[in-house]
Amino acid sequence: PIHSFYTSRLLDWKTNSRLGASNTPFSQLLPAQYEDGISSPRGWTSAVKYSGFSLPLVREVSNKILHTANENLPQDNLYSSMLTLFGLWIGLDLSNTAMSRSIRSFSDGIDCSTSCQQAEPCFPIEIPPNDPRFEDTKSCIPFFRSAAACGTGYTSYNFGIPNVRSQINQVTSFIDASMIYGSTDSLANQLRDLTNDFGLMAVNQRYSDDGYDLLPFQNATPNICATRSIVTKDPSVQDVPCFMAGNSRANENIALTAIHTMFLREHNRIAKIFRKLNPHWSGETIYQETRKVVGAFLQTIIYQDYLPIIIGPNAVQKYLSDYRGYDDTVNPSISSVFSTAAFQFAHLTVQPFIFRLDRGYQQHTVYPNVLLHNSFFTPWRIVFEGGIDPIIRGLISMPAKLNRQDKLMHDELRERLFQLTSQDGLDLASLIMQRGRDEGLQGYNAWRGFCGLSQPKDEKELGVVLNNQTLAKTLIRLYGTPNNIDVWIGGILEPFVPNGRVGPLFACLIGAQFQKIRDGDRFWWENVGIFTESQRRALKEVSLHRIICDNTGVMELPPSMFQYLPYSNGYIACWDIPKFDFSAQGKLCSCSALSDEQ
């Protein structure tokens, strides 16, 4: 009998201690460091010292280290904004930390979103003196803690044995396109078109994009995407609900939404091909086979095209050079430090605008560029303002922002994050650091030691590591010692590894994590029995180019997808990019092999 690919993954979780399954704890590469040894975040009590020094307020670190205006930003002359957004989109597939189910303090019911009182689970971000935006130091940026895994933290006392707090990853740790398909059966079924037996994903029934499908709408209330009247200052304009996708963050900005939409279309395109090639297949079989192929496409693009640019050839050689098949001793679970720190590097390369370009790759005269804070939770911009093509053109033809020590995070993310849906704009840098402390991530030097790197003892040695003595002096004034530096801050400040876009610490943490994701996945596309040898050879030729060509009206692309190349320097036409030959593949799923293994 045909063994569904998705069901096989579910069975694999059950027979493999559910390693990498959704709603299981993040792995801990180093013991979590909590103020009380069990649950209280680092920095919960200002008087508590670490290595002899109190931790600085995260907002103070953000102000003094990351503050960057929107203007005169350094541009990456090698890589495009597609590299940035594709990386952020990948992150949606790998981790989504479960938040506390209550946003009210457990002691007296105070609302964490409106109060500055610190009481579990409220962990507000305090405002330092002389803050450039907040005049009142008694105000705060709201923050509430991530949920503790059952039986960890304070809940462990219910079981009689103290157990250090850990956090829950709501999505699978595998590269399985969960941001498209969902990580639970119930969401997966909501996202499918079950009105027929064709194996399709549900699409929007009210609007389309120049003949192409859009994501379906959510039914949720209240509608946090009802932002059009706020932006236009016209209460009479028509709003639309949030789009529905496999991940709740699909609406966070319209560039992410555009990539989601493109891959939804790719699923339905492939499903229609499979139905034509295999008319005897049921809709369920078509859906599962298509889902498997889309996941394999992603795995191939990430490891062949994306990761080498990010971690550089040395880390690729160390962690990802040889695939030796599935290893059942490898735990593929995403680590807390990867989710909360290392893979947050891409935010430093986000441009302050969503660029929207016309067919000639010029700024769109009807739908101009949008400041990032005006693109958060704005699906109406895709519905009513030209669809996803102008956004895709902007991503592939405009440079990424360059992460540079003196120009780190611009105001769109540091002062205006989610400004349309929150009372005040949030500070992404502060949120990332506060989350690291919430989850007990040890300081910078501990992680340098974990990766076998030098551990600077003082300002001078830190200056050597960062190749910047002035920056080292500022960090020591804030933290007192390199030991206390928040790991995310330390990581993003390191000079890039050769031919990479992160420093040595993050190259280590990212490379090691993606090695585990690959080697611990029994359904990895290169593993024996998943695809045939001829199918694997074909999959090596998959490109993001072809996915864009087949699912948008964008007809000219740069020769190398992630490299920055202005349009005037010569793009290639879609008809010159080879198509994936499904007819040569036959039945892509080795279903009998999967059945035999169970």
Q: Look up residue 544 and give its two tokens.
A: 């993001």
| 347 labeled binding residue | yes
Contacts of 567 (CB under 8 A, 6+ apart): 360, 361, 397, 556
Q: What is the CA radius of gyration of the chain?
A: 24
Question: DSSP states of 496-544 as a string?
Answer: PPTTSSS-HHHHHHHHHHHHHHHHT-TT-TTSBTTB-HHHHHHHTT--H
Contacts of 385 (CB under 8 A, 6+ apart): 356, 366, 367
Three-state DSSP state, 179: helix
Question: DSSP states of 397-451 as a string?
Answer: HSEEEP-BTTB-EEHHHHT-BTTTTSSS-B-HHHHHHHHHHHTT---HHHHHHHT
Q: Is 32 left (phi over 0), alpha (psi -120 to 50) or beta?
A: beta
Neighbours of 69 (CB within 10 A): 12
Q: How far apart are CA 144 and CA 498, in angstroms?
A: 38
| Ramachandran angles phi, psi of 415, nearest 5° | -130, -20
Give the DSSP H or E segment for 141: strand 140-141
Instruction: Write down the number of H helices and E strands in the chain.
Output: 22, 14
Candidates 486, 444, 491; CA nearest to 343 is 491
HEC string of 32-52 equals CCCCCCCCCCCCCCCCCEECC
Residues annotated within the binding site are: 347
Residues annotated within the binding site for heme b are: 347
